[in-house]
A and B are shown apart, each in its own frame.
Chain A
Amino acid sequence: MPRKSWLGMALIGAALALAPIVVGASLGNAWVRVLDFAALYIMLALGLNIVVGFAGLLDLGYIAFYAVGAYLYALLASPHFGIHWPAWAILPLGAAVAGLFGVLLGAPTLRLRGDYLAIVTLGFGEIIRIFLNNLNTPINITNGPKGIARIDPISVFGQPLSKPVEFLGITFSGVMLYYYLFVVLALGIVFVGIRLQDSRIGRAWVAIREDEIAAKACGINTRNVKLLAFAMGATFGGVSGGLFAGFQEFVSPESFGLMESVMVLCMVVLGGMGHIPGVVLGGLMLTVLPEAFRHGAGPMQQAMFGKVLLDPEALRMLLFGLALIAVMLYRPAGLWPEPRHRRELAK
C-alpha cells in the first residue's frame, strides 16, 4: 500500500477515535448516542448493500434480520427466560441464525426480480414483525408488543459497556464505550465488504445484477450465489441487531417496521448503490442530519419568526422527502457513486 493511503488511514483512525470525546464535550452525550446509531445503521446498510447494491436483488424486508439478531440477543441475555449468555457467544450465533433466515427467505424468491421480489420481501419483513408481536400466547416467547426489557448490556473483557470508565484522566461514558465497539465492528464489516466485492464471489454477484442469463451461461450457479448474497447480507443485519439489543437494553416489535427497512434502503440508494464508501456516507447522513434537524428546527423557527410555525417532526419528513427527490433527479447514481458510474454521469 502506498504511503499516502497509510497516512489517510491514520488520519481517519484518529478522527474516529477522537470523535466521541470531542462531540461529547461540545454537544453532549445525546449526540454521541446519535453516532452510535450511525455506526449501527452503517453496518445495516453495508449488509443490505450486498443484496441490493452488488447482487441487484431489491429487498424491502431487510430489517427482519436486524429483528432476528436483536430478539435472539434479548432472549438469551435477559431475565425474560433467565438466560444470561455473554455477548461474544450470542452475536456470532445471531449472525448465523439471521444468515439462515436469509437463506429461508431467499430460497422461495429465487425466480423473482425487481418489483415482485420487493413485494415478497416486504411481506416477509412484516411477517417477522407480526410474529414478534403475537408470540406471547399460548407460550410467552417474545413478550408481545410490550417487548423485552432489562436486557444485559454488552460486556467486553468483563466490563459492561453501559458503565463509565476512567482512562487517561478522561471519563468515557457508556455511549462512548459503545461507540468504540460499534466503530470497530463497522470497520470490520467495511473490510469484509471490500474484500468480498473484489473477489470471485463479488464479481459473480455483480454479474447476476448485470445480466442473469449471461451469468448462468458463464457457469455461475445463480441460485447458490444469490442465496449467498441473501445470507451474507442477513448476517450483517443479525450482528447489528444483537448490538442494538445490548445497547438499548430493550427491544420491542415497533423498532422493526417497514419504515426502518425503507430507511436502510434509502441509505444505500442515496449514498451510492454498490459503492461501500458511498453507503457509509449515506448511513451517516441519514442518521445524523434528521437528528440535527429535530434539535435545530424548533429553535431556528423561534429565532426567525418568534414562534414555532411548523412541527419539526413533520417538517423533517417533508425535507427528507424533498432531499430524496432532489438526489434521485440530479444524482441518480447516489451522492458518492462508484467512480466508473460517476464518469458515466459526467458525460
Chain B
Amino acid sequence: MTVLLEARGVTKYFGGVQALKDVSLTINAGEIYGLIGPNGAGKTTFFNALTGLYQRDGGEIGFCGAALRLSSPHEVAKAGIARTFQNIRLFANMTARENVMVGRHSRTRAGVVGAVLRDRATRAEEAALRRRADELLRYVGIEHRADDIARHLAYGDQRRLEIARALATDPKLLALDEPAAGMNATETASLKSLIEGLRADGLTVLLIEHDVKLVMGLCDRVAVLDYGEKIAEDVPASVQRNPKVIEAYLGGAA
C-alpha cells in the first residue's frame, strides 16, 4: 500500500486554545479515511491546516512522497488536494457549470490576451473546459441543473455541486467536510454510492462526518479527534468498540 498523505505532529493554536495537538495520521492511496469526533474536536481545523487556509503552528505534511511546504490554498489545490466546506461555499450567483469551470482554474492557462483575442488555443481550452465541467456535473448527477444559478439548487444538489467543483481541480485527495450534513436518508444513500464511485475510480477520500452509519459503512479506516488530539485510529469496527472513543462521545453528550 502506498502512502498518499502523511501528517506528522500537526499543531494549531487559536490564542490560548490548542485546537490541534500533535495530530499525526497516514492516509493510504485509494482508501476512504474517516475523521470523526465530537463537535469542536478540531476536524475542520485539521482540514484548514491541511489545505493552507490556516497557517500551521507546528508539524509537517507529506503528500505524494514529498513535503507539502506550500503555504497558500491555491498551491495546495494545484498540488492535488481538493476540499469541500462544512457550510457550503459555492459561488452563489454563478451557474452550476460556471462553478465547476472555476474549479479548473489551476488546470487551465488562458490569460488576458487570450481572453480578448480568443485565439485558437483559448477557444480549444474553453471548449474542453466546458465539456469537462458537463462531464463532472453528470458524474455527480446534476447535469440537468448546469445552467441554473448555484443558489437556486436544492440543498443536496449544492453539496453535489461542491463535490463536482472540487473534482474539477483533478485532485489526488478529496477532503469532504460533513457532506451528508442536513441530508435525508435517500440523499445520504445516493451520496454514499457517489463516494464509493469516487474510490472505485481511484480517488483517495478524507471524510469528516457525523453520520455514524455512513462512516462505518464507507470508511476503510477511521481516526477520532477529541479536544484536538487523536485518540484512536483503526478500522471502523474496532474504533466503535474503543472505550476512549465511547468516553469522548458520551462525555461530549453529557
Residues of chain A touching chain B, judged by Cβ–Cβ distance below 8 Å, are 191-192, 195-196, 199-204, 206-207, 210-211, 213-222, 228, 232, 340-341, 344
Residues of A within 8 A of B114 (CB): 199
A217 and B83 form a contact (CB under 8 A): yes
Given A206-B94, A214-B85, check contact A220 B106 (CB 8 Å): yes
Q: How far is the CA of A89 from the CA of B74 in the complex (A)?
A: 39
Determine whether B118 belongs to the interface, using a CB cutoff of 8 Å to chain A: yes
Asked if B74 and A211 sit within 8 Å, CB to CB, the answer is no
A262 to B129, CA, bound (A): 39
Q: Are B169 and A196 in contact (CB under 8 A)?
A: no
B105 and A220 contact, CB distance less than 8 A: yes
How far is A219 from B109 in the complex, measured between Cα atoms in Å?
Answer: 12
Q: Are B91 and A213 in contact (CB under 8 A)?
A: no
A199 to B89, CA, bound (A): 22
CB pair B116–A214 under 8 Å, yes or no, is no
What are the residues of chain A within 8 A of B51 when measuring CB–CB? 217
Residues of A within 8 A of B166 (CB): 217
Known: A199-B115, A199-B126, A214-B91. 17 other contacts (CB 8 A): A196-B115, A199-B110, A200-B101, A200-B115, A200-B129, A201-B110, A201-B111, A210-B93, A211-B92, A216-B53, A217-B89, A218-B168, A219-B78, A219-B105, A219-B107, A221-B72, A340-B93
Give B114-146 interface residues, CB cut-off 8 Å to A. Answer: 114-116, 118, 122, 125-126, 129
- B115 surroundings in chain A (CB, below 8 A): 195-196, 199-202
B residues in contact with A202, CB < 8 Å: 115
Alpha-carbon separation in the docked complex, A207 to B126 (Å): 17
Q: Is the CB of B74 within 8 A of A216?
A: yes
Minimal beta-carbon separation of A194 from chain B (angstroms): 10
Cα–Cα, bound, A210→B150 (Å) = 11
Q: How far is the CA of A217 from the CA of B176 in the complex (A)?
A: 13
Of B82, B112, B116, which contacts A217 at CB under 8 A? Answer: B82
Do the beta carbons of A211 and B91 come within 8 Å of each other? yes
Residues of B with C-beta under 8 A to A210: 90-94
**Distance of A341 Cα from B73 Cα, bound (Å):** 30
Please name 23 pairs of A and B residues whose Cβ atoms are closer than 8 Å in the assembled complex, sorted by A: A199-B122, A200-B105, A200-B110, A200-B126, A204-B102, A206-B93, A206-B94, A206-B98, A207-B94, A210-B94, A211-B89, A211-B90, A211-B91, A213-B89, A216-B73, A217-B85, A218-B74, A218-B77, A218-B103, A218-B168, A219-B103, A340-B93, A340-B149
Question: In the complex, what residues of B have CB within 8 A of residue A213's CB?
Answer: 53, 73, 85, 89
Output the least CB separation between B119 and chain A (Å).
Answer: 11
Partner of A204, one of B105, B118, B149: B105
CA distance A193 to B160 in the complex (A): 32
CB-CB < 8 A to A217: which residues of B?
A: 51, 53, 73-74, 77, 82-83, 85, 89, 166
Interface of A is mostly: helix
Q: How far does the Cβ of A87 sit from chain B's closest Cβ, in whole Å?
A: 22
A300 to chain B, nearest CB (A): 42
**Contact with A220, one of B102, B111, B116 (Cβ below 8 angstroms):** B102
The docked-state distance in angstroms from the alpha carbon of A266 to that of B81 is 42
Kindly supply a per-residue 1/0 record for chain B positions 55-90, scoring 1 wherever the CB is within 8 Å of any chain A CB and 0 otherwise: 000000000000000001110011000110100011
Interface residues of B in 157-175 (CB under 8 A from A): 165-166, 168-169
A142 to B14, CA, bound (A): 51
CA A214 – CA B89 in complex, angstroms? 6
What CA separation (Å) do A196 and B149 show in the bound complex? 20
Considering the chains assembled together, what is the distance between the CA atoms of A135 and B95 in angstroms?
A: 50
Query: Given A204-B105, A341-B93, does the pair A218, B169 have CB atoms closer than 8 Å?
Result: yes
Instruction: Assess whether B108 is interfacial by the CB under 8 Å rule.
Output: yes
Chain B CB within 10 A, most for which of A211, A214, A221, A340: A214
| Distance in angstroms between the alpha carbons of A156 and B52 in the assembled complex | 53
Q: How far is the CA of A232 from the CA of B92 in the complex (A)?
A: 25
For the complex, what is the distance from the CA of A218 to the CA of B98, rounded to whole Å?
12
Residue of A nearest to B83 (CB): A217
Q: Which of A192, A196, A210 has the most CB of B within 10 A?
A: A210
Residue of A nearest to B51 (CB): A217
With both chains docked as a complex, state the minimum distance between the C-beta of B77 and any C-beta of chain A, in angstroms.
4
State how many angstroms separate the Cβ of A8 from the closest Cβ of chain B.
21
Please report the C-alpha to C-alpha distance between residue A214 and residue B86 in the assembled complex, in whole angstroms.
12
Once bound together, how far apart are the Cα atoms of A100 and B82, in whole Å?
A: 34
Docked Cα-Cα span, A340 to B74, in Å, equals 29
